Structure 1
Amino acid sequence: MKAVVFDGKSLTLKYDENYPMPTIVNDTDVIVKVEYSGVCGTDLHIIQGEFPASKERPLPLGHEFSGVVHQVGRRSIFKVGQKVVVDPNRACNLCNFCRDGKYQYCLTGGKDTIIGIWRDGGWAQYVRCPEDQVFALPEGMTTEQGGLCEPYSCITHGFDRVSPLPVGTKILIIGAGIIGNLWITTLHVQGHRDVTVSEMNKSRLDIVKGLNTGYRLITPDVLGVEKQLYDVIVDCTGVGKVMEISFKYLNYGGKYILFGCCPPTHQASLNPFDIYSKELTLIGVKINPFSFPKAIGLLKAMGDRYLNYEKLGIKTYPLSSYQDALNDLKTGKISKAVFKIE
């Protein structure tokens, strides 16, 4: 089968037309025929050697994907032909974190099981998945929309972490890549209107403008001049220095959501006195524990109004054009690249 394969030892990618097809191993396995598979910022960090991934053997990346059930084990609850999405993350289910319902903190289960990072992922025509990581899409939802389920599941976890978030809260979104755009659409569909979006790339601000939310769109230099304070700040850049600067714009009692995937080498200096005197809250958001059902519900509610690929700045590519996809993403021409797999 066709796949884009990552070699963790040499940090290289290649397009392989003869990658081995997956086969059923366990009675509850599901083989998914992939239709849409996203390129995440984490993938870029992995390719650049900034984020850990498997080095045992070359394998397809891709932890955001949707498709159709192609084959199932004899005890699986799924049926061939069902439209599905896949949660790439799982847990050991034995440690105290997992048994307390917080598998995002698991120190063992995730390390060698995450689909698309430690196991064969969705940058391929077919993927073998444990059925407990597979979710059926509801009637009326397309696999194109479902291709956004994994990043939206992370957003829903972040939303839960920052809640309560009353309508009328003064919110600042920093970074208008795809994650910023998904936060923008999530806030808008839930009634938030006092939202400012800061992005240095003006072409990305134009993409946000096309979402027709009416949100205030500015460049980062405006933040420094205005010195306005915000009740909630969502960092979608994953850049330590950006956090260091923007943390100063929190209002008394404010909450700062560190959402962008920040490389382990980044550092940021914060003033503890400010945290104390203003009673500030710093919220980290890691993956998507048990939030896929919420994300599917959110996607169903959003529909075409918010999930239009073109309006979100998403461009689709065949697997063979993976280099074009990565280049366009790095230059900021698009907010997200998604492989549309035939």
Structure 2
Amino acid sequence: MEAVVFDGAQMTVTYHQNFPMPKIVNDDDVMVKVAYSGVCGTDVHVIQGEFPALKTRPLPLGHEFCGVVAEVGEKSIFKKGQKVAVDPNWYDIAPCNLCDSCRKGSYHYCLVAGINSTVGLFRDGGWAQYCVVPQSQVYLLPEEITLEQAGLCEPYSCVAHGFDRASPLKVGEKILVVGAGIIGNLWVTTLHLHGHREVTVSEMNKSRLETVNKLKTGYRLVTPDILEKEKAEYDVIIDCTGVGKVMEINFNYMKPGGKYVVFGCCPPTHQASLNPFDIYNKELTVIGVKINPFSFPNAIGWIKAMGDRYVNYESLGVKTYELSEYQQALDDLKKGSISKAVFKIQ
């Protein structure tokens, strides 16, 4: 089968036309014929050696994907031909179920589970024509959701977790979204769906601001130099950049009692200097957001409610590629000419 394969030992990514097909091994396995598989910023970090992934053998990356059930194990509740999305994070089998995190229902903190056993990072992922996962990670899609829209289920599930972590977000509060890549755009659609209108989006790449404008939310769109000149304060800042220096700068724009949501995934080497007195004096809250624990159903519900009004590839700046075009997809992402690359797999 076709696949885009990461070799962690060599730190290389290559396209294969004859990568071995996966096989049903367990009674509850589901083989998914992949339709859409996203390229996440985390994938770029992995390829650049800035984020952990399996290094003992080559594997297809890709932790954001959906498709159609092709084959199932004997005890699976799924049927061939069903449209499904896959949650890449394994929490009912992989966690140790003994540590405090697991026993409190926070499997994403477990040193075994969560991001440490993710499909597409530590197990074969969706940058391939087929992928086998346990049925516990498979979600049946409503008829109202297209496979194209379902390709964004995983990133929306992460936003859903971030939304829960930051809540309550009161309508009328001044909110700043920093970064207008795909995650910033998904936050824009989420905030608008939930009735927020006092929202500013900051992005240094003006072509990305033009993409946000296509979403027709009426939000104020600015470049970082405007924020610096205004020195306005915000109730909530949602940082989608994954850049430590950006946090250091934008932390100065917090209102007393404000919340700073660290959503973008910074490489471990990034640092930011914050003033502890400001945190004390303004009673500021810093909120970290890690993956998507139990938030996949929310994401599916949101996408169903949003429909084409919000979840539209052209409006969101998403471009599709064939697996063989993986290098072009990565290059376009790095240039910032698109907000997101998604493999459309035949």
Distance in 2 separating the partners of 1:233 and 1:302: 23
SS in 2 for 1:13: strand
Distance in 2 separating the partners of 1:109 and 1:252: 37
Displacement of 1:169 in angstroms is 0.9
Question: Equivalent residue for 1:314?
Answer: 318
Question: Equivalent residue for 1:295?
Answer: 299
Unaligned segments of structure 1, at least 5 residues: none
Question: Equivalent residue for 1:222?
Answer: 226
Displacement of 1:64 in angstroms is 0.1
Q: Which amino acid aligns with 1:44?
A: V
Question: Equivalent residue for 1:157?
Answer: 161
SS in 1 for 2:55: coil
Question: Equivalent residue for 1:273?
Answer: 277
Unaligned segments of structure 2, at least 5 residues: none
Moved over 6 A (4+): none
Question: Equivalent residue for 2:327?
Answer: 323
Instruction: Check the 8 A contact 1:38/1:62 in 2, yes or no.
Output: yes
Query: Within 5 A, what are the aligned runs for 1:70-81?
Result: 70-81=70-81
Instruction: Check the 8 A contact 1:93/1:99 in 2, yes or no.
Output: no
Instruction: Check the 8 A contact 1:255/1:282 in 2, yes or no.
Output: yes
Distance in 2 separating the partners of 1:285 and 1:7: 28
Instruction: Check the 8 A contact 2:108/2:115 in 1, yes or no.
Output: no
Question: Equivalent residue for 2:22?
Answer: 22
1:244 corresponds to which of 238, 248, 268: 248
1:181 corresponds to which of 171, 182, 185: 185
Question: Equivalent residue for 1:64?
Answer: 64
Question: Equivalent residue for 1:142?
Answer: 146
Question: Equivalent residue for 1:115?
Answer: 119
SS in 1 for 2:117: coil
SS in 2 for 1:77: coil
Displacement of 1:313 in angstroms is 0.2
Question: Equivalent residue for 2:210?
Answer: 206
What is the TM-score of this pair, normalised by structure 2?
Answer: 0.98
CA RMSD of the aligned region, Å? 0.8
Distance in 1 separating the partners of 2:27 and 2:136: 12
Q: Which amino acid aligns with 2:183?
A: I
Displacement of 1:111 in angstroms is 5.9
Displacement of 1:93 in angstroms is 5.2
Instruction: Check the 8 A contact 1:207/1:313 in 2, yes or no.
Output: yes
Answering whether residue 174 of structure 2 is matched by residue 170 of structure 1, we say: yes
Distance in 1 separating the partners of 2:322 and 2:90: 28
Q: Which amino acid aligns with 1:9?
A: A
Displacement of 1:140 in angstroms is 1.7
Displacement of 1:112 in angstroms is 5.2
Distance in 1 separating the partners of 2:75 and 2:309: 38
SS in 2 for 1:337: strand
Instruction: Check the 8 A contact 2:96/2:112 in 1, yes or no.
Output: no
SS in 2 for 1:25: coil
Instruction: Check the 8 A contact 1:317/1:339 in 2, yes or no.
Output: yes
Query: Within 5 A, what are the aligned runs for 1:30-41?
Result: 30-41=30-41
Q: What CA deviation, in whole Å up to 9, does each residue of 1:196-216 have, x standing for no partner? A: 000000000000011100000
CA gap 1:112/1:197 in 2 versus in 1, 3 angstroms = closer
Distance in 2 separating the partners of 1:256 and 1:309: 28
Q: What CA deviation, in whole Å up to 9, does each residue of 1:50-79 have, x standing for no partner? A: 000000111100000000000000000100
Distance in 2 separating the partners of 1:2 and 1:99: 40
Distance in 2 separating the partners of 1:173 and 1:130: 36
Instruction: Check the 8 A contact 1:112/1:119 in 2, yes or no.
Output: no
Distance in 1 separating the partners of 2:62 and 2:26: 22
Instruction: Check the 8 A contact 2:256/2:282 in 1, yes or no.
Output: yes
Aligned identity (percent) is 71
Distance in 1 separating the partners of 2:49 and 2:79: 38
Distance in 1 separating the partners of 2:114 and 2:218: 40
Displacement of 1:100 in angstroms is 1.3
Q: What CA deviation, in whole Å up to 9, does each residue of 1:126-169 have, x standing for no partner? A: 00001100000012211111100000000000000010111101
Distance in 2 separating the partners of 1:203 and 1:99: 46
Answering whether residue 286 of structure 2 is matched by residue 282 of structure 1, we say: yes
1:232 corresponds to which of 220, 231, 236: 236
Q: Which amino acid aligns with 1:188?
A: H
Q: Which amino acid aligns with 2:36?
A: Y
Displacement of 1:316 in angstroms is 0.1
Instruction: Check the 8 A contact 1:259/1:285 in 2, yes or no.
Output: yes
